[in-house]
Chain A
Amino acid sequence: MDILNLIRISAKALLRNKTRSALSMLGIVIGIAAVIAVVNLGEGLKQSTANQLSDMGTNLIMVMRANQRRGGVSMGSSNVQSLKVRDCELIAKGAKNVTMVSPVVNSGGQLVNGSKNWSGTVYGGSPDYLEIRKYEIATGVNFTEEDVKKYAKVGLIGQTIVEELFDEGEDPIGKTIRVGNMPFKVIGTLKERGENGMGMDQDDLVVMPYSTVQKRMLGVDYIQQIVCSAASEDVAEAAVEEIESILRVSHKIPEGGDDDFEVRTQQEMLEMMSSMTGMITTVLVAIALISLLVGCIGIMNIMYVTVTERTKEIGLRMSIGAKNSAILLQFLTESIILSLIGGVIGLLLGLLLSYVVSLAMSLPYVVNVGWMIISFVSCAILGLISGFFPALKASRTDPINALRYE
């Protein structure tokens, strides 16, 4: 038997029973479509998280206050006052792999401009803060080191605040508005950024010199966070180590003692988030794989029925000279053709499905070619496995009985 001949015989046999062939494919179609769709969507989700995190900052490293256990009593991290502006200066001076440093102190407050008001968040930072967090200035200017030294009552506002506090067409630059009881001058506006992955409005903020927020608004001398930029993604880990050793010295943490701060890179945050989406994707892929397996059992089932139903055909083929191996190969080929066609249809369906869904969810459309190959190959293998036993049964048919079979 040559392969072309075999495929022709099998294809003809399948075409003779179009409805049944289509039905037996259905399981595989759904299974593969589900696998491809889930994998592509999972990939899209991962990519979108990555995009968002890289939006957060340029090779961002965050230093946060940590929960430190003292004598068995855990203190809430918001009460920890371990981070100081001095730490920022030490990092700026000592960490070679860090290019920019900014303290972060934030405070909520009622923003008022004449009769309009809006409750927003004020972020205090150094002049580098905007660049570290990838904010761009739309109009006006950034504040300066001078402003920081003088606790200057100046700030830059996001587009949401522009919209809420100012009339359309009104230029906010140079206007004085209030946050709480403190009036401040708007010296700049920030470019629109939209929502982040968690649906948070990134344009609803005021950025001021950290010293202004510390002294004039909160009356504290500590800071809540430090944000840094590593020189490049490759040195992010090295930068983290530098920061850690600098802070351990400055905070006088003994050898083996608990840190009162925590350093995270963008990469780590990305991993944290993608491990979440990864877990969900894994579960869904597992479910999809089960449906693929069920699809295969479906093919096996139908192939068994087919073999019984076509006993007479098998007997006839044998009587006119088909070898047992030819019968075996014919039925095997039939089931492989079925599962491959089902696989291709499922593949296209899965691609379409994931395209539509990612469009609807405004996720990036990512095609995972690896899984496409895996599912295609597994289709062929599954077709082979699910066709084998029915085919074996067919090839063991006794032609004399088969010809008599009604």
Chain B
Amino acid sequence: MNEKQSIIKVENLKRTFVVGSEEVHALKGVSFDICQGEFVSIMGSSGSGKSTLLNILGCLDQPTSGEYFIDGISVRERSKNELSDIRNRKIGFVFQSYNLLPRTSALENVELPLVYNLDVSHRERHERAQHALELVGLKDRMGHMPNQLSGGQQQRVAIARALVNDPVIVLADEATGNLDTRTSYEIMSLFQSLHEQGKTIAFVTHESDISVFTSRTIFLRDGHILRDESVATKSAAEALAALPVDNDY
């Protein structure tokens, strides 16, 4: 292994959907590595295969062909139950629509992944969920229900939930898609601070002004990688400060 450990390694990944008599080639051979501590954005226009790729990376979907290693483990030919365990121990998901359980407190929402991990005791689960909520700045909102939280706060709860099992990688699909610019920047600022603390993050977006906050961008087009470039990271906190204060209306 080189100095930075490879968390994700995909080789010639293909995914073909069969719809009726037609075949849809969503991914046509994608290869890349994501190393420990990277903050990667996956960009591309609608239909380019971003979600398909992320679903495979998240072990929700299996590739039609190609190799995928996560944390050194080959995902190919794993049983459903083994994939569930990989998702439970190694992956944190953040969705566009938050997907919090309604009428369930923020704390309990964050505890949820640990409920499916029998190695974690009741008390440890509680403590880790509290810690994760502190990490996303919601220490004072633990008992709140999702409908008592703003969209940005709900997404923070979802991020805390993705962090609580201490995953090797956080996967986010359009995590800022439902949020206004200011709140998006706040969320990106949170991701950046998590990144600084050493978290590995892969972030799908189709907005270039969001991808600038990441350190590396993979461009997809039509199921192929168009470009894979490291970019100078812009500080989300600074961008936030630079936003015109025009929300007094």
Nearest residue (CB) in A for B109 is A316
Within 76-110 of B, Cβ neighbours of A (below 8 Å) are at 80-81, 84-85, 87-89, 93, 95, 99, 101-104, 108
Please, which residue of chain B has its CB at the minimum distance from the CB of A2? B118
Given known contacts A316-B99, A316-B101, A324-B80, A12 and B108 CB-to-CB distance under 8 angstroms: yes
Report the count of interface residues on B (CB-CB < 8 A).
27
B34, chain A: closest CB distance, angstroms:
19
Q: Of B84, B85, B103, B108, which contacts A318 at CB under 8 A?
A: B84
Q: Mark A117-144, 1 if CB is under 8 A from B, else 0.
A: 0000000000000000000000000000
- CB neighbours (8 Å) of A316 from chain B are 99, 101, 112
Q: How far is the CA of A316 from the CA of B95 in the complex (A)?
A: 10
List of B residues within 8 angstroms of A9 by Cβ: 115
Would B93 and A319 count as touching, CB distance under 8 A?
yes
- A312 to B, closest residue via Cβ: B99
Closest chain A residue, CB of each to CB of B103: A16
Q: Is the CB–CB distance between B112 and A317 below 8 Å?
A: yes
A321 touches B117 (CB 8 A): yes
Q: A16-B101, A313-B101 are in contact. Are A323 and B81 (CB under 8 A)?
A: yes
Q: In the complex where A12-B108, A316-B99, A400-B60 touch, is A323 in contact with B80 (Cβ < 8 A)? A: yes
Q: Which residues of A contact B102 (CB under 8 A)?
A: 16
Q: Quick check: is A369 within 8 A (CB to CB) of the other chain?
A: no
CA distance A17 to B102 in the complex (A): 10
Tell me the interface secondary structure of chain A in the complex.
Answer: helix
Contact of B84 among A2, A5, A321, A403 (CB under 8 A): A321
Confirm or deny: A95 has a beta carbon within 8 angstroms of a beta carbon on chain B: no
Q: With A and B bound together, what is the CA distance between A321 and B111 in angstroms?
A: 13
Report yes or no: B115 in contact with A319, Cβ–Cβ below 8 A.
no
Residues of A near B104 (CB, < 8 A) are 12, 16
Q: Does A280 contact B (CB under 8 A)?
A: no
Complex CA distance for A403 and B118, rounded to whole angstroms: 25
Contact partners of A360 in chain B: CB under 8 A: none
B60 adjacent to A321 (CB under 8 Å): no
Report if A298 contacts B (CB, 8 A): no
Q: Given that A12-B104, A16-B104 are contacting pairs, would A321 and B113 also be in contact in the complex, using a CB cutoff of 8 Å?
A: yes
Q: Is the CB of B112 within 8 A of A5?
A: no
B58 contacts A by Cβ under 8 Å: yes
Establish whether residues A321 and B55, one from each chain, have CB atoms under 8 Å apart when the complex forms: no
B156 at the interface (CB under 8 A from A): no
How many A residues are at the interface, by size bracket? 20 to 34
A377-406 CB mask vs B (1 if < 8 Å, else 0) is 000000000000000000000011001000
A residues in contact with B118, CB < 8 Å:
1-2, 5
How far, in whole Å, are A324 and B103 apart by their CA atoms in the complex?
24
Asked if A283 is at the interface of the complex by the 8 Å CB criterion, the answer is: no
Q: Quick one: closest B residue to A6, CB to CB?
A: B115
Residue B61 is within 8 A (CB to CB) of chain A in the complex = yes
Which residues of B sit under 8 angstroms from A1, Cβ to Cβ? 116, 118
Q: Which residues of A contact B113 (CB under 8 A)?
A: 320-321
Interface membership of B161, Cβ < 8 A = yes
Compute how far the CA of A315 lies from the CA of B161 in the bound complex, rounded to whole angstroms: 15
Give min CB distance, B19 to chain A, whole Å.
14
On whether the beta carbons of A320 and B58 are closer than 8 Å, the reply is: no
A323 to B102, CA, bound (A): 21
A377 to B199, CA, bound (A): 52
* Pairwise interchain contact B80-A320, C-beta atoms closer than 8 A: no
- Choose among A317, A323, A399, A400 the residue with the greatest number of B CB atoms under 10 Å from its CB: A323
A322 cross-chain contacts in B, Cβ below 8 A: 84, 88, 116
Query: Using Cβ atoms and an 8 Å threshold, which residues of chain A touch B60?
Result: 318-319, 399-400
A-B contact list, 29 entries, CB within 8 Å: A2-B118, A5-B115, A5-B118, A9-B115, A12-B104, A16-B102, A17-B103, A313-B101, A315-B99, A316-B99, A317-B116, A318-B87, A319-B87, A319-B93, A320-B116, A321-B84, A321-B85, A321-B89, A321-B117, A323-B80, A323-B81, A323-B85, A324-B81, A324-B84, A325-B81, A399-B60, A400-B55, A403-B95, A403-B99
Q: Give chain B's interface residues, CB within 8 Å of chain A.
A: 55, 58, 60-61, 80-81, 84-85, 87-89, 93, 95, 99, 101-104, 108, 112-113, 115-118, 161, 165
Q: Given contacts A5-B118, A321-B113, could you give 14 more A-B pairs where the C-beta distance is less than 8 Å?
A: A5-B115, A12-B108, A16-B101, A312-B99, A316-B101, A319-B58, A319-B87, A319-B93, A321-B85, A321-B88, A321-B117, A322-B88, A322-B116, A400-B55
